Copies of this chain bind each other. A is one copy, B any other.
């Protein structure tokens, strides 16, 4: 009988980066593709993405935004219309030069993002204010060629959704930009049990071609921040670049206002990093493809029947339950494998459980066992299991929030700033004058960049952590993925 290959799982505390890759490969979330920098998302990992899609798509549709599909290829000249935009993306483009056996007259860019091709169409579809707003989203794949890649976190191809809405006023535009960030925050909090800091990006860190970028920054266990999504106020920049106007109610020409917002498969990387432990994945119940695994201790018919009945009962409550019926694996091997796969609850069923009517429950988040009093099965068990799943979900979110708060440092001297970044890292809250020079030097000297100015932050009086000049806002800094 195969022994579960535990030795090869590197400890999270010993080598975080290797642990991360290890867990993803061994839990079969993903694998390296034969094309450098690309990944294969395996069924267990893709089920996580399907959960995210289903949760977020519902919010998107409730907002009245509809899905569509725009082509993967963008004519090179389109990308060049918005100067900042092309500058930002040029180093990472993949280019098709041959198609149908012939050299193309005009090269085609594999989309790194779809602003340009979408706005070219929007321009064609709109004449007056009556044709606005346009509320469109698409779920697709994009390519940004990367030298150094990291499973889920940074890959040359990734999956995401990109919302692209257009309005007649800046106010409506901002409302949508904020709505999108709120939808992302809800997805992270309620589905993925991840806490983060919503806020505004600095000029240097914002989207190329946009006016303002919002982001939700999530702290990882190694003290680095993950930019987990973005929502951009693009102003009228692309409308002007495309010479796109519509007639307003008074018959005057108006440049429409655009916004775009995206959340990608990178989110799964954050989920793995933040919650996982030395035994592997730890999945929040709301997103877990399998919420409960029932493991028969031995394979006798009475036990197998009990397991099947229990599964049926729990499935009727819309819970995602599996019974591990494999004959060739021991119960211990199965325990380890399902722990690696991060399944929130394990029920261990042996003859003792059947005789006593008392069930043994293992919860993955706390790695603790408890008993469900008799009768084993029926209403009692269903209610206790459902409550426990909810408790685990809340516990995991609270734990991550606590971790983030404990690793957020209010800092007022640059020496302290440097020391923190050299040792424990984490978020630093510090005054910054908002000058690009200070921002650049801090990054050069500490690898920490500005992450966000938190939403709703109140102006205060202070001095810049770097240049000591007056500053009125405390920004979040961190080293970032």
Seen from chain A, the residues whose Cβ lies within 8 Å of a Cβ on chain B are 31, 33-35, 38-43, 45-47, 49-50, 66-75, 78, 90-101, 107-108, 110, 117, 120-121, 124-125, 130, 136, 140-141, 143, 145-147, 156-157, 159, 328
Contacts and interface: CB of A to CB of B under 8 A. Distances in A.
B35 A100 contact: no
B145 A34 contact: no
B159 A69 contact: yes
A99 B108 contact: no
A211 B34 CA distance: 26
B43 A74 contact: no
Nearest to A43: B66
Contacts of A145: 99-100
A121 B42 CA distance: 10
15 contacts: A31-B121, A31-B125, A35-B73, A35-B75, A35-B108, A38-B73, A46-B66, A73-B157, A93-B98, A96-B96, A97-B98, A100-B147, A110-B110, A140-B141, A141-B141
Contacts of A33: 70-71, 117, 121
Nearest to A92: B100
A97 B95 contact: yes
Given A66-B46, A117-B33, A71 B40 contact: yes
A92 B125 CA distance: 31
A61 B245 CA distance: 46
A62 to B, nearest CB: 14
A43 B43 CA distance: 28
A91 B100 contact: yes
Find the residue from A39, A45, A46 having the highest chain B CB count within 10 A: A46
A98 B39 CA distance: 19
Given A43-B136, A91-B101, A34 B66 contact: no
B98 A35 contact: no
